[in-house]
Amino acid sequence: HPPNHQMEESSALRRADCRAKGGAPGFKVAILGAAGGIGQPLAMLMKMNPLVSVLHLYDVVNAPGVTADLSHMDTGAVARGFLGQPQLESALTGMDLVIIPAGVPRKPGMTRDDLFNINAGIVRTLCEGVAKCCPNAIVNLISNPVNSTVPIAAEVFKKAGTYDPKRLLGVTTLDVVRANTFVAEVLGLDPREVNVPVVGGHAGVTILPLLSQVKPPCTFTPEETEYLTNRIQNGGTEVVEAKAGAGSATLSMAYAAVKFADACLRGLRGDAGIVECAFVASQVTELPFFATKVRLGRTGAEEVYQLGPLNEYERVGLAKAKKELAESIQKGISFIKK
Ligand code: NAD
Ligand code: LMR
């Protein structure tokens, strides 16, 4: 039998409403690019997140199929699908959090900046929708090149008069996830016990792991520092090459995106002490955007932390990172301002 969508929808809404009245948080989350390599596992993990009451899945292809599939999972969140530009506004209306993994991924031999020409326009269109339909939502931007797409989103929001720097976050969690994994391997620890701050941006030398600030405290030989820094900076390329033309990181990225989105939702709920690295508007350096640890709260990135003490190796890395970042940020800003 075909499902009775009207009945399903109204009982689902009643449930979501009930939970909201009972004081249990139920956030409304949209994923834009939900049928993609990242989008699908990300949608599945968000469907399993108890903080989510409504999950909107938007894509220009296959959104109905992905939604039908996920909607059979017996978890609390209600999944609804939206296909193509005419449904973008319905997908976004009322959302608390919008996660954006829409756009093309790299193939071997490409840099993230090579994706700019296609992804910049996609991010602009989607952010225009956010500004119009859910201007108060928190935005988690995954589409590459993040170092440019976050400035693009900021300019779109400024133009629309809705820009709040606290609510726009470039997702760099995968760099931290990789750093924790690789450092744990070297130290012989459980990766869940390791925390490596990764600052700067999300491409090549702009990815700057602060190995001098690893928790638990530890020391590395110069060779270990060099090996770990290179591996963390090239983690994305390692996956692109292994996938040999079939795309870039999707599963580890979906895991990282959910880790970050869940932190944003716990912040929105009012939990104390939620700290994650993210690429945000920043006064930590002379650059207008920079990734550092931020404290997530009811209004988004409520506090942007300073870099803390750096060693000589990290100071050299920081100078290199800032040089490339400055160009990528300017490229994003010019795309909207031109
Ligand atoms: P993919 O091609 O598998 O999926 C992208 C999805 O976006 C597709 O389903 C496509 O239909 C959809 N899409 C394209 N244009 C759209 C539009 N205008 N509106 C809505 N959806 C649209 O790619 P993927 O592997 O999921 O990667 C997506 C993006 O995420 C890439 O740009 C990739 O470089 C980036 N990425 C970022 C990180 C990070 O750490 N921030 C990590 C991995 C990948
Ligand atoms: C990653 O770090 O895996 C992503 O940015 C995708 C890529 O192109 O490397």
DSSP for 153-192 reads: HHHHHHHHT---GGGEEE--HHHHHHHHHHHHHHHT--GG
Amino acid at 64: P
pLDDT in tens, 149-200: 999 999 999 999 999 999 999 999 999 999 999 999 999 999 999 999 999 9
The conformation of residue 106, written as its DSSP 8-state character, comes to: P
pLDDT in tens, 225-255: 999 999 999 999 999 999 999 999 999 999 9
Angle at 188 between CA 187 and CA 189, to 5 degrees: 90
**Is 201 among the annotated ligand-binding positions?**
no
- Helix ranges (H only) for the chain are 5-21, 39-47, 63-70, 88-92, 116-133, 146-160, 173-187, 222-233, 235-243, 251-269, 312-337
Q: Is 144 known to sit in a ligand binding site? A: yes
The response to whether residue 33 sits with its C-beta less than 6 Å from ligand 1 reads yes
CA distance 317 to 77: 43
Index of the ligand 2 atom closest to the CA of residue 175: 2
Is residue 127 over pLDDT 60?
yes
Give this prediction's pTM.
0.95
Task: Record the tokens describing residue 231, joined without a space.
Answer: 């591996």
Q: How far is the CA of 103 from the centre of ligand 1 (A)?
A: 4
Catalytic residues: 202
Testing ligand 2's pocket by substitution, the residue of 147, 150, 253, 255 carrying the most ligand atoms inside 8 A of its CB is 253
> Given pLDDT bands bounded at 50, 70 and 90, which one contains residue 338?
confident
What's the CA-to-centroid distance between 14 and ligand 1, angstroms?
Answer: 33
Q: Which two tokens stand for residue 263?
A: 């932190």
Q: Among 319, 294, 311, 315, which Cα is nearest to 214's?
A: 311
